[in-house]
Amino acid sequence: MIIDTIRAEIFKLMHNRWTLFWAFMAAPAATLVFGIVLEVLFVSPGSALSSVRGTALVQYLLDGCAIGSNLLAQLLLIMGAATIFAGEYQWQTWRAIVPRSSRGALMVAKFVAFGVFAVGTILGCTLAELIISILSSLVTRTPINWPQIARAEALTAMGVVGLASLIEALLIAAMVAVGAVLMRSVLASALTAFFALVGLELIASRIPPNEQLPIDVVLPGFAASSVSAWADAMLGNSGSPKAEWGALGLPALGVEFLLFALVSLALFLRQDLSRE
């Protein structure tokens, strides 16, 4: 039964073309366009920058996977999540679907649908970075170090960073879902999640490094970037202090996602849909 509900949610999103494009496809498109412009205009053959970037294909791909460091992608995902969760209030469509499936299944279906398309965004950004790196190697006439990609460490690093990005995207969706159920508005839920994320980033930037007590790993931005730093260190690059807490970053994101998702579900299960 829940599979049907998930299929229905994905079907709905597939036909909501504006949301599909702006929430999930615009970030890879923007990454590609801006990357190409940057490579063509600012990276010249033989420059110091080209010698570094031209060979670091894995680094390009890691950057592509890590949407946590891409504020534009996060903002667009917030808009997508707001449409998915709060759209039902805006269009007054809860009353059409709640009697057809359980409330729990409907919420789970929304998270799964969002997750499926967020994976597309992450893969799209990664693909965009791959195209940019190939273009860069052509512009700078620097050979790409393809074998490096096939190394088990590189694949593991990309997998871990991609997974962290997906969970971070789901966490964003769960924060939006809580706002959507409480405020029943697309704009209000999106803005609340956006300001919450910006606030958390500000807090993360103000907390002084503390090697003994990594409390800032509970902040989503810090947790995601620590996973990226950890993956970077795995590939032998000099790691930032954050790398040390990378192993904690992934479970921290997972726990936070579950927490917000359960809060949104608990609120929705008890909510009276006397108006939407």
**Minimal distance in Å, beta carbon 91 to another protein?**
6
**Minimal distance in Å, beta carbon 248 to another protein?**
39
100 near another protein, judged by CB under 8 A: yes
- Report the C-alpha gap between 113 and 203 in whole angstroms: 31
238 near another protein, judged by CB under 8 A: no
206 near another protein, judged by CB under 8 A: no
266 near another protein, judged by CB under 8 A: no
**Minimal distance in Å, beta carbon 238 to another protein?**
49
**Minimal distance in Å, beta carbon 82 to another protein?**
16
101 near another protein, judged by CB under 8 A: yes
DSSP 155-170: HHHHHHHHHHHHHHHH
C-beta of 100 vs 151, nearer to another protein: 100
Residue 118: closest CA among 174, 156, 157: 174
- The one among 41, 99, 150, 209 contacting another protein by CB under 8 A: 99
**Minimal distance in Å, beta carbon 114 to another protein?**
17
C-beta of 1 vs 213, nearer to another protein: 1
**Options 12-20, 142-150, 209-217, 241-249: segment touching another protein (CB under 8 A):** 12-20
- The one among 47, 91, 195, 241 contacting another protein by CB under 8 A: 91
DSSP the chain: -HHHHHHHHHHHHHT-HHHIIIIIIHHHHHHHHHHHHHHHHH--TT-HHHHHHTT-HHHHHHHHH-GGG-HHHHHHHHHHHHHHHHHHHHTT-HHHHGGGS-HHHHHHHHHHHHHHHHHHHHHHHHHHHHHHHHHHHHHHT----HHHHHSHHHHHHHHHHHHHHHHHHHHHHHHHHHHHHHH--HHHHHHHHHHHHHHHHHHHHHSPP-SS--GGGGSHHHHHHHHHHHHHHHTTSPPPGGGGGHHHHHHHHHHHHHHHHHHHHHHHHH---S--
Number of residues that bind another protein (CB under 8 A): 29
C-beta of 11 vs 195, nearer to another protein: 11
C-beta of 42 vs 91, nearer to another protein: 91
- The one among 30, 36, 43, 97 contacting another protein by CB under 8 A: 97
Which spans of this chain sit near another protein (rule: CB under 8 A)? 1, 4-5, 7-8, 11-12, 15-18, 91-102, 106, 270, 272-274, 276
